Amino acid sequence: MANLPERPGHRATHPNHPVRSAPGERVSDAEREAVVEQLRLNTTDGRLDFAEFEERVAYALSARTGGQLAAVLHDLPHVESPEQALARRRRAVRSILTPYVIVNMFLVLVWAVSGLGYFWPVWPILGWGLGVVFALAAIARRRER
């Protein structure tokens, strides 16, 4: 990996990119470990063979600046760990279900306070519920990919 130049103009574009330091700044051990984890995930996906993985890990662990460390990942995509993917899916599901449940509970409360007549909240519950089902199905389909 000695042929990888420090990338002076490089700034991480992915929000979860493991290299947070500027190209000329010293990197932390946590950043080095995060880069090694990205290398491991990319190796698991078949983008690197074991020899190149070992070479890049050695270079990453010896990197001193953000530019040197970013150069290790310059030709690899960011791979989301299974834990990150699960947390992202849970946030997405929560952001869909929370307003649905709260608003519909309020509508049922209004119905109950107004005399328990015809159960009119059924229409927003069903209409919005259809959208919720489609959104949750889309999240489940994304998980399968």
Q: What pLDDT digit, counting tens, does each position of 55-66 carry? A: 999 999 999 999
Contact 25, 72 (CB under 8 A): no
Instruction: Give per-residue pLDDT as tens, 3-60.
Output: 555 444 444 556 677 888 888 899 999 999 999 999 999 999 999 999 999 999 999 9
Contact 60, 34 (CB under 8 A): no
Convert 97-135 to b/e letters by CB count within 10 Å (16 or more is b): eeebeeebeebeeebeeeeeeeeebeeebeeeeeebeeb
Predicted local distance difference test score (pLDDT) of residue 15: 66
Give percent of the chain above pLDDT 70.
88
Residue 97, pLDDT above cutoff 90: yes
Report the candidate in 37, 30, 33, 72 with the shortest Cα–Cα distance to residue 55. Answer: 72
Contact 4, 62 (CB under 8 A): no
Q: Is the dihedral of CA 74, 75, 77, 79 positive or negative?
A: negative
